[in-house]
Each structure stands twice: as structure tokens, then as C-alpha cells.
Structure 1
């Protein structure tokens, strides 16, 4: 069978008879032309391209093209059966090894209750994962590994069948615990206690303090605290809540850094914080700016200016979800999160200068075009090169968090959940998650979005930590109840 796909997503097929095919009535457009014989033949495309490559044949109005030929390559088969507890419904994922990079990427999916088979598998090296969509069984790779990097290779050769036999999955028993409190400040203190259950003799290196009633100034504090092996605590603009005061006394921080201007944390609170500083200065310091974007740049420059930041995360400062999800991911690669005005048509000169000062060579954008304009993306590409800009832009805040988890936390079985409709709990958890090399996935208050649920299942997570009380994360989250589609 011959197939043609245009750049608008349309497709047309035609039978191959005696080695010849014909497409009639094509619109003037560019097409990807591919060929596949039924059973055991790899999908082979004209020009050597694949299905996800750009279209490579252009047809003009009234034009007749001949000689759009290719030699199809006979593939192989992978067969097997998978069994587990309950009444499982398996998603069987075949991941192909890129011979150039060595990475394993999604190739094919199959859905089954037991037996599975992949035909027309191109010769190459693969790894295979089984995921139970009913959540009764742990995801695992053939044979037995939790993560792709530890799985056994499956080598497929042209025209041959690989029989994997029976795969037996283990029941999925998640250790789910909660760190909660009567309000966001009690949660913040409780999370800090988990981050530093034992206090070093000299006290903790640094505590970043931010306004717990508003989000902008604090969003860049997470990666800074992670890099400095420190902590984050929330206050109000005009007071240090009692749980936070008690936690500061316990932490005995060598430094306290207040993020934001006097509208976020006033001068009286700043001076009250002096009493908890155990370092030589004896004073809490402030990192601020004329607006939230300047404050973000100043935090990044303070924490990363000496060592530089080869990688930088960019997120909009007009809202909080993208930057919240970015915090632990950025911390995992010792990178700052820098906030910009996502609605602006171009990147501001101050951020451009900061990227040069930090010797940045790659940029991860968190948020789609609704959050961050194409103009900003193009300006970033102009600084580090298009191939060094990666966009994590799912259709929702939950998708973005899941994408970051799948990319930066492929070797962890611990996941943090925080509500995605408020910022305080996720912000408090940033330093803890960074220390544990674990992601913070944003969820609804009483259910788990599909993209998050899928990633947690595919990761075969062993432990989930809920950050926030029952009002923030209800019983539906505890039960891993999927959100309605």
C-alpha cells in the first residue's frame, strides 16, 4: 500500500499493483510519500524520510510526477504475552534505539489484554515496555527493569521473528504519603522539616523567604535554593506566621534572602528575620527589582552569576503554573528559572544581557505560545541557536508538568503532587523535590489529569508525596482517580 500525507494532516492511500501505484486528484501541496506491504515490511518513505519528517514531494496544480520510487525493506516481528494481577489492559510500547544518539524513542504502541505482536518492525535495536492502564500492575520493561536504561535490548533482523515469551508484571503498590497543615504557612514549615529533618551543626546554608500570598517574586527562588542547598519558607507581607518563626529558629540559617520588594515583604519583616540569621553578617538580605521580571533576573544573577548557567529555563511571569513545574527540573541540572513577560513580542534587553553574562548555551522554554510569544522564542533561538532551544508546551499546565517529569526525571520512582490551581504548596516543595531529584506534578484538587496519570504509571513510581491538606488535594487524588476527559 502507498500512502501520501500532506502538511495539513490529510492522507490518501493507493494499492501497489505489480510494484506500481498511482495517486489521483492530489491538491497542489507538499507530501510525504511512504510505502508498506502488508505484513513484515517496514514503513519505507521516498527520499529516505520517515512519517514524522517534513513533506518532501511538492505537487503543482495539474502536474504529473513519475519516478517517485523507493525500495521497501522487509522487517521483522516481535511477539509475546503479558500477564498480571486483576483484569489488566496493557499498553505495550516499543522503543527504538537511535543509532546516532543511543537514545530510545517511542516507535509503536499496541493495546491488549494478553498476547501482543508487532509486525513490519524495521531491523534495529529496541526495548519494550508494558503499562497496565487499570493501574493494578507496575509498568516494567522486558525483562524486569523499571527504567529504560536498565532494560534488555531486543535485536530485530530483517524477516525474522523474536518471541519474548511470557512477561509477568508485578502488582503496583504505591506508597502514598501526605505533608499537610492547617494553612499554606503550616504546610511550608512541614515541608521544610522534611527537607532538613536534621540540622547541620552550623545551621542550614540559606533560607529563601517569599510572599506566600502572591506568586511572582518567589517563582525563581526554587532553583536558587536547590543550587545553594537551602530551603524556601513563606511569610505574609507584614508578618512572620508562627509556624514559620518556629521553623526558622530550628533551621538556624547562615543566610536569609528575602525575594521581592517591600510590597511583597515589608521592611519590618525583613528586620525581624535578622534575629534568625546565624552567619557573620547577622542580617537578612533582599533581592528585588522594579518589577517581578527584574527580581527574577536578580535572583538568577545572585545564585548563578559566579558559576554561570549553561542551561536556562524561561517561563512567563504573568502566571505561575509553568514556572512552578520548571523549578525542580531546572534544579536537577543546576539551572535558573528566569521570568519574562510572555505577552511581549520580543525578549527584553536585560534578559538578553543576563543570558550572555551567564554564558548560556541552551534554553528550555516552559509553556506554549499562549504563555510565551513566538517572538521571544525566535529571539532566544538567535542567542543560542534554534537547535539549542527546547519548548515544553503542552495543551495544559498539567501536560507541561508531565512533559518535564518525563524528560528530566526518567530515573526516579518518587513523585510529588501539588494542586495546580494555587501556587503556595508547590512553591514550598521546590527545594525538597530538588533535593530528592524528583518532579512536582500539578494535579486537580480531587483528580489526576490524564497526562500526569500516564507518566506516573509509565514511570512505575513507587512513592507519591502529596503536598497540602485535604482541601488542596482530596481523596480523589489519593485514589489516583482520573480527571474526566
Structure 2
């Protein structure tokens, strides 16, 4: 599956004065939530055609993605240099949540964003925002160099809503607008209509089967995996750093029982035909027998290797050093004593091209090995996931003393594990929004461990939820991030159908 994750989303979207519009949107969307389905998953790897409930075939999906191997790059300053230029005109109108309208787009609370494909670097670069509209919603933009563009339309006038050219709800399916020199292209009238969020479930009979279902959403039929990380499904520590590492290498994470490879995992490994398998953790968590059995799924036994340290922190350091090396831009620091903060940090780290590193959050300071690794990684910007109860003030102080002025340190902390995940998502995904979002239980770790690489590949945040209902705060945040589809990870035992029906609490 191709990733559209922004490398460093530093540009800020302007929200304006939107409290009334958001309140109206919430009233309508919460009162009439979208129906849930347990159909597997209409996942980001198998998108559904507009007006259809059947997933696209792998071939159709690949064709729809077009140049979607490219990454999206957001920068503080648009990268457009006017040369032999083209212009774009049109009209943007918006309907409200009741279907009334359409009404002309308003300057300051609606905008159009243009992305140019740089074929040399295979990146989509933001080049222009249009946020000024005429009395009837007319807009004009000029100074475009010739090339291939994707166009994003956003409005907060009646309710938060986003569409892409041409009338597509999701980035990967959007059409490419080709602009030639000295031409003026008219887009006609573009109408934005709010729609409820769609909820879906990705689940298997147990945690191992759920991880397989998630893997199938990352690596489509007929594709092979460059790497598969194998971690125990009986504990969380080793997999917390392995998920972002798998995402960095476009691979997946599968879970295993400590002493035997579950049959469902064996079947999935045969389908994935991985180039490499990495076992994370020592023989006490994933036995030597399991490691030996894995050699049947690669070309040579030497393509299976183990990454392990003396404890969970040493293992985390080894995983990060192996997958990332020098030059990683961002590093998320989370306690290894618990799982929730690191789970939410995984997709956020991946969106920034970064890693998750576990520390002993209760320690008075970071150890020498952690500080040495930070230096070896190029002294990236540091992001602490969790409050002082999770990662102590002493740990933060020692990190600050180590990096000095060479890097920034930011802490994301809420009143609960759910609120910390919200803070992370708002800070990292808020600048650009997200078409997809993922939900995992805040009371367990298994399903979210494997879901991290899928969220990362989908450029999507991971939210934590209670088992019985979706909190208002999470639903509001998804609306503000312009999320179209939400995927719950795991069966009804971890996230009830009330969560998927949009029932809030």
C-alpha cells in the first residue's frame, strides 16, 4: 500500500472563527451516525468505488492510486516558482449539514490547496493555497508552473468537509489535474457536501487473526512484504518500537504465541512471501523454536534474524537503530512500563518519519545508552508521550540537557491515556487533517500493536477508545480532522458495536 504521509507537516491550516459551524456539524453528525458494518474491511488498501459497497479489485485500486508511490510534503512556505505559468478558475460552494444551499464559500474559512508532483524526487509538494472568494464563491489562482497537480477543497463554513478533484472523497482516488504553460483551466462549480463518518471493523477470531487481517489491509493480494516483524502477542513491550519500524520499512507486524507459531500466522506468512523476517525480543518471549520455524517462509534461513537486548529498553534501542539510523527527524519518547502512550505515538511518529523509543519513565534521568542513541540518530527533535506520571520530569530534564539547543522537546499529556492520544493526534495530524482514522481499545494492547503500521501506511491517527462507546472528544476531533472513514481494530470484546455506530459518551 502506498503512503501519503507528509514528511514534516509544519504548515498550519487556518480554522478561523468556526465554533458555530462545528456545533452545527456535531449536532447533525452525532444525532444521525453512520451505520457500522463488520464486513471486512473496506480498508485503505482496498478502497470502495463511489456509489458502491464492494471493494475495488487490487488492480483497480492500483490504477486509481496513479502516482501514489509519492510522499506528500508540507512546508512552511509553498515551493512554487512562477515561470511560464498557467491559471485555474472556478467557483466553490458549500451545503450545510441539513442539505440546505449551496452557499458561496467564504474567504478565510474555506480554501483550495494545490499539490504539485515533483517527478525527480517523487514527492507531492504543497505549492498554493487559495482562500479568497468572490460574492458567489468565485476564485482565481495564477502563477502555476506546468505539471501534474492534485487539488484539495476544504470548508468549515457549514460543517467541516473536504473533497478532492474531481469529486473524490479520498486522496488516493483523486484525479490528477494537468496544467500546461500559458493555459487557463476552468474547474467549473465545485460543491462540498458534509457527510457522516463511516465506521468499519478489522477483526479476527483472536489477537493473532486480527493482526493477520490488519496485515492483509497493508499488503494487498499478489504483493509481497519487504519485511515482517514478529513479536509476542502475550506482552506489549517489544512490539511498541517494532510497529513504527515496520512502517518505516513498508512492512507489517504479526503476533505469535511465545512457543508456537499460530496456524493463521503461518498462512499469512506464506501469502506475504517476505524478503526478511525480524523477530523482536529474546528467546524468553519468542522461542528459538518459533524463530527456526520462520525460516520456512523466506528464501534462506539467514533472512530470519532476531533483534533483542538485555531488557525491553535495550531491545527498543536496537530496533530503532536498526530501522532508522542517522538522520531520523523526530523521535517519540514513551514509557516502557505501560502501553497506551506509545501506541498512539506510533502512527504520529510515522507521519513525521520518526521512531518510538522506550525509556524507564519512572527513572530519575535517562541512561547513557539512550542519550548515546539520540546522538547517533542525529539529535532529532524529541516528543514525550504522556504526563509526568508516565515520563518523569527528571527524564525530560536529562534529555533537555543532552540535546541542548540542537533539538526541541515537546510533551503531549492529557488527563488520561485517551486525552494524551488526542493531544498527539491534534498536534501531528491537525496541520493537514486525515482521510482515515483508527480506533483501538485503551484497555489492551494486542490489536493496536499490529494496527500501527496500517495507520502509518494510511497517513492516519490512532485513537484510544473505551469498550462501550466512543467519547465525544474523539468524535469531535475526527470531525475537525476531516476524517471520512474510521476503522476499529479488534472484535466486539474490545470495542463494542456501540463504538462503531458512533454512539458517543
TM superposition score category, shorter chain reference: 0.5 to 0.7
Q: Which region of structure 1 is more displaced relative to structure 2, 416-425 or 385-394?
A: 385-394
Counterpart for residue 415 of structure 1: 437
Q: Is the 8 A contact 2:282 2:308 kept in 1?
A: yes
Counterpart for residue 302 of structure 1: 322
Taking only aligned residues, the RMSD between alpha carbons, in angstroms, comes to 2.8
Counterpart for residue 36 of structure 1: none
**2:498 paired with 1:473:** no
Counterpart for residue 467 of structure 2: 445
Secondary structure in structure 1 of the residue aligned to 2:27: coil
**Structure 2: which 5+ residue stretches go unaligned?**
1-9, 30-95, 115-127, 134-155, 160-192
**2:266 paired with 1:242:** no
Partner Cα distance (2:389, 2:472) in 1:
21
Q: Is the 8 A contact 1:135 1:457 kept in 2?
A: no
Partner Cα distance (2:285, 2:267) in 1:
21
Counterpart for residue 435 of structure 1: 457
Deviation string for 1:283-321 (max 9, x for gaps)? 42111111100000000011112x432311100000000
Q: Is the 8 A contact 1:222 1:431 kept in 2?
A: yes
Once the 2 structures are TM-superposed, how far is the Cα of residue 174 of structure 1 from its aligned partner? 2.0
Count of residue pairs brought into register by the alignment: 353
- Runs of 4+ residues over 3 Å off in structure 1: 101-112, 137-151, 166-171, 280-283
**2:335 paired with 1:316:** yes
Task: After TM superposition, list the pairs within 5 Å mapping 1:41-52 onto structure 2.
Answer: none
Once the 2 structures are TM-superposed, how far is the Cα of residue 449 of structure 1 from its aligned partner? 2.3
Task: After TM superposition, list the pairs within 5 Å mapping 1:166-185 onto structure 2.
Answer: 167-169=157-159, 170-185=193-208
Once the 2 structures are TM-superposed, how far is the Cα of residue 268 of structure 1 from its aligned partner? 0.6
Counterpart for residue 166 of structure 2: none
Task: After TM superposition, list the pairs within 5 Å mapping 1:257-276 onto structure 2.
Answer: 257-276=278-297
Partner Cα distance (2:427, 2:201) in 1:
25
Deviation string for 1:236-272 (max 9, x for gaps)? 1011111111000100111100010111101111101
Which of 206, 211, 214 is the aligned partner of 1:191?
A: 214
Once the 2 structures are TM-superposed, how far is the Cα of residue 191 of structure 1 from its aligned partner? 0.7
Q: Is the 8 A contact 1:363 1:384 kept in 2?
A: no
Q: Which region of structure 1 is more displaced relative to structure 2, 449-458 or 360-369?
A: 449-458
Secondary structure in structure 2 of the residue aligned to 1:134: helix
Partner Cα distance (1:373, 1:153) in 2:
47
Once the 2 structures are TM-superposed, how far is the Cα of residue 364 of structure 1 from its aligned partner? 0.7
Task: After TM superposition, list the pairs within 5 Å mapping 1:221-370 onto structure 2.
Answer: 221-278=242-299, 280=300, 282-305=302-325, 307-370=326-389
Q: Is the 8 A contact 2:97 2:158 kept in 1?
A: no
Once the 2 structures are TM-superposed, how far is the Cα of residue 414 of structure 1 from its aligned partner? 0.6
CA gap of 1:105–1:391, structure 2 versus 1, over 3 A, is farther
Partner Cα distance (1:401, 1:146) in 2:
29
Counterpart for residue 132 of structure 1: 25
Partner Cα distance (1:211, 1:277) in 2:
20
Secondary structure in structure 1 of the residue aligned to 2:255: strand
CA gap of 1:193–1:300, structure 2 versus 1, over 3 A, is same
Deviation string for 1:370-421 (max 9, x for gaps)? 1000111111112234771111111111112122222222331211111111
Partner Cα distance (1:443, 1:479) in 2:
13
CA gap of 1:372–1:167, structure 2 versus 1, over 3 A, is closer
Larger Rg: 1
Secondary structure in structure 2 of the residue aligned to 1:313: strand
TM-score, normalization by structure 1: 0.68
**Structure 1: which 5+ residue stretches go unaligned?**
1-100, 113-128, 155-165
Partner Cα distance (1:239, 1:293) in 2:
25
Partner Cα distance (2:335, 2:217) in 1:
29
Q: Is the 8 A contact 2:275 2:303 kept in 1?
A: no
Counterpart for residue 187 of structure 2: none
Partner Cα distance (2:385, 2:452) in 1:
16
TM-score, normalization by structure 2: 0.65
Which of 373, 391, 412 is the aligned partner of 2:392?
A: 373
Greater relative contact order (Cα < 8 A, sep 6+): 2
CA gap of 1:108–1:253, structure 2 versus 1, over 3 A, is same
